[in-house]
Amino acid sequence: MTTRGIYLAGPDVFFPNAIDVLAAKKALCARYGYLGLPPLDVELSATGKPNAGSIFARNLALMRRADLIIANLTPFRGVSADPGTVFELGWFHGAGKLVYGYSNVAAPFEMRIAAAFAPIADGPAERKLANDGMAIEGFGLGDNLMIDESLRPLGGLVRPADAQDRPIDDLKLFEECLKRLDESTQPARL
């Protein structure tokens, strides 16, 4: 039996403790019977100094090898998920592979936008406008609707149930994704 590979997407590669966090994610994957495939391993295994093109090509090869993705969609350097991670999530969704994602931030996307770009007026169709004149997406989701809706078939974006933010490198919700994956692959019990 072949072990299913999970692409470990997220801004984790930028963390000062990236190697430790991704090693912990790989260990959690192994505990649940999966192979964790972090993109940082691609960068670290490159001969010489890797460049953007080689990292992109190697990550794509790793994504093709993986059966599914678990994406850390915790807001990174702004009010939304890391754009590279969103690209990877979209790639997996478009390839028809399983997509799971989590955010360690409890506040809905619209609240984070309102905090960053204070609403100043009501716009058309009862939408709030931010101080940049643009509408605020108001669906109560964890991130942009395209991100959240891509995750809906497998339970949606996993966010803190206790409404308490966690550090960006906290792995509790990553493990929750593994549990959901494990439960979704178990045979039905009568």
Task: Give residue limits of the domains in the chain.
Answer: 5-105+143-185, 107-141
Sign of CA dihedral 109, 63, 21, 155: positive
pTM here? 0.92
Residues in the chain: 190
What's the topology of domain 5-105+143-185?
Rossmann fold (3.40.50)
Angle of helix 18-31 versus helix 172-185 axis, rounded to 10: 30
The three-state secondary structure class of 143 is coil
Q: What is the pLDDT along the chain (190 residues), one digit of tens a residue?
A: 578 999 999 999 999 999 999 999 999 999 999 999 999 766 666 567 778 888 899 999 999 999 999 999 999 999 999 999 999 999 999 999 999 999 999 999 999 998 898 876 777 777 888 888 888 888 999 999 999 999 998 889 999 999 999 999 999 999 999 999 988 875 543 3
Residues pairing with 8 in the sheet: 70
